[in-house]
A and B are shown apart, each in its own frame.
Chain A
Amino acid sequence: DTAVSQTPKYLVTQMGNDKSIKCEQNLGHDTMYWYKQDSKKFLKIMFSYNNKELIINETVPNRFSPKSPDKAHLNLHINSLELGDSAVYFCASSRGESYNSPLHFGNGTRLTVT
């Protein structure tokens, strides 16, 4: 069983569209995250949720809106997609709110905006 699963794996869309990426974890973790990895492989945290509550919101455009219906799911909705949004988006989870808990990552969603 995949511990952290994201769908879709690939997403190709045009500028201006709205799209969503889904993430689910079956590890029983309390904290979930979204990371963005650009073409140079830099990993940057975007959001962090603990028990469905937002605890970190890094400087990302408000076109990006995370939603956590329950602590096992953290979805990412992106409005009005732009070329610069093209990247690989990783969902991750960890036990508890303490950041010394190892992160468990999904395998990423490669978003291409044309």
Chain B
Amino acid sequence: LAKITQPISMDSYEGQEVNITCSHNNIATNDYITWYQQFPSQGPRFIIQGYKTKVTNEVASLFIPADRKSSTLSLPRVSLSDTAVYYCLVGGRSGNTPLVFGKGTRLSVIA
């Protein structure tokens, strides 16, 4: 199983770009990297997913280096409503591969 490490917490001011890095040294060949956002009293919500290089959507960007042993979630110009816990998830194509969540990064956005 992939072992996942991410910072426990981060603080940022409104309007700044926030980068959260996830380490997954023993990621398997078939594993994808997915990020989720969780607000209090809600279930995690999908943000972005990638396999290699860079992926961008309307919410975030995901940077994955060639060795795929880490990934960085980039949130442009954060606002107070981006205060949440962000989870890195590594999982494979196979239905028998358990999905492993990181322990989450608590992002606090300050006005």
Query: Can you name the residue of chain A whose Cβ is closest to the Cβ of B87?
Result: A43
Inter-chain contact A98/B93, CB cutoff 8 Å? yes
Asked whether B13 is an interface residue with its Cβ less than 8 Å from the other chain, the reply is no
| Complex-state Cα separation, A41 to B99, whole angstroms | 16
Inter-chain contact A43/B41, CB cutoff 8 Å? no
- Tell me how far the C-beta of B32 lies from the nearest C-beta in chain A, rounded to whole angstroms: 4
Inter-chain contact B101/A42, CB cutoff 8 Å? yes
Query: Can you name the residue of chain B whose Cβ is closest to the Cβ of A100?
Result: B32
Classify chain B: how many residues form its interface, as a range.
20 to 34
Q: Which of B43, B85, B89, B94 contacts A107 (CB 8 A)?
A: B43
Inter-chain contact A50/B95, CB cutoff 8 Å? yes
Inter-chain contact A105/B34, CB cutoff 8 Å? no
| Complex-state Cα separation, A102 to B44, whole angstroms | 11
| Complex-state Cα separation, A56 to B100, whole angstroms | 13
B-chain residues with CB within 8 Å of residue A58 when the two chains form the complex = 98
B-chain residues with CB within 8 Å of residue A45 when the two chains form the complex = 98-99
Given A92-B43, A108-B42, the answer on whether A100 and B49 have CB atoms closer than 8 Å is yes
Asked whether B96 is an interface residue with its Cβ less than 8 Å from the other chain, the reply is yes
Classify chain A: how many residues form its interface, as a range.
20 to 34
Inter-chain contact B94/A104, CB cutoff 8 Å? no
Inter-chain contact A56/B96, CB cutoff 8 Å? yes
B-chain residues with CB within 8 Å of residue A90 when the two chains form the complex = 43-44
Inter-chain contact B93/A99, CB cutoff 8 Å? yes
Inter-chain contact B44/A55, CB cutoff 8 Å? no
Inter-chain contact B93/A100, CB cutoff 8 Å? yes
Which residues of A pack against B, CB within 8 Å? 4, 31, 40-45, 48, 50, 55-56, 58, 90, 92, 97-100, 102-108
Which residues of B pack against A, CB within 8 Å? 32, 34, 36, 38, 41-46, 49, 51, 85, 87, 89, 91-99, 101, 103-104
A-B contact pairs, 11 of them (CB 8 A): A42-B101, A43-B87, A43-B101, A43-B104, A90-B43, A99-B94, A100-B49, A102-B34, A102-B49, A103-B34, A103-B44
